[in-house]
């Protein structure tokens, strides 16, 4: 799936969205209720990409690698969002990001890692991309991915 030519935030930055991934268990990738879209936890969309990393940040991966992975996860979230709403111009506001970092026991820079996704959203949406956020450390994440992120978005009808 390529970027939406009608959405200038992606086009201006030369960003192409990855293909939307399928759920890996018994859940859906998003739920729409009213004007809100709740996006399920996402890791990388493409487990075969070179940036598909595994391991704990602060032990196996650096903050910079975690940041890059979180940015990639942000693109995957946007790909799912586009499939949910059809047009990213419908985004009224990114409401909340919940970022989980597979962290070494003595790692305390989870916010720096999740900034990879947050910075991307502000680059693309400007003020509409600023959001409430949690960035927390986890003892582990599914299949040893370094980051999992959930997102809630308000859309215009």
Q: Which of left, alpha, beta for 111 (phi over 0: left; psi -120 to 50: alpha)?
A: alpha
Give me the CATH code for the 8-21+28-155 domain, please.
3.30.1330.40
At a CB cut-off of 8 Å and minimum separation 6, what does 1 contact? 17, 18, 19, 20, 79, 82, 83
- The mean pLDDT of the chain is 90
pLDDT by residue, tens only, the chain of 157 residues: 343 434 667 888 888 898 888 888 899 999 999 999 999 999 988 754 545 689 999 999 999 999 999 999 999 999 999 999 999 999 999 999 999 999 999 999 999 999 999 999 999 999 999 999 999 999 999 999 999 999 999 999 7
Q: Where are the domains of the chain?
A: 8-21+28-155
């Amino acid at each position: 799936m390529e970027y939406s030519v009608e959405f200038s935030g992606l086009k201006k930055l030369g960003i192409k969205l990855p293909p939307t991934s399928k759920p890996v268990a018994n859940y859906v990738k998003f739920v729409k209720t009213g004007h809100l879209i709740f996006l399920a936890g996402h890791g990388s969309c493409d487990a075969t990409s070179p940036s598909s990393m595994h391991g704990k940040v602060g032990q196996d991966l650096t903050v910079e690698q975690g940041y890059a992975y979180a940015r990639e996860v942000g693109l995957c979230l946007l790909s799912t969002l586009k499939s949910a709403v059809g047009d990213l111009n419908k985004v009224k506001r990114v409401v909340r990001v919940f970022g989980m970092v597979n962290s070494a026991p003595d790692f305390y820079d989870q916010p720096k890692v999740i900034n990879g996704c947050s910075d991307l959203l502000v680059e693309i949406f400007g003020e509409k991309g600023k959001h409430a956020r949690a960035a927390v450390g986890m003892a582990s994440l599914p299949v040893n991915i370094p980051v999992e992120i959930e997102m809630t978005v308000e859309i215009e009808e």
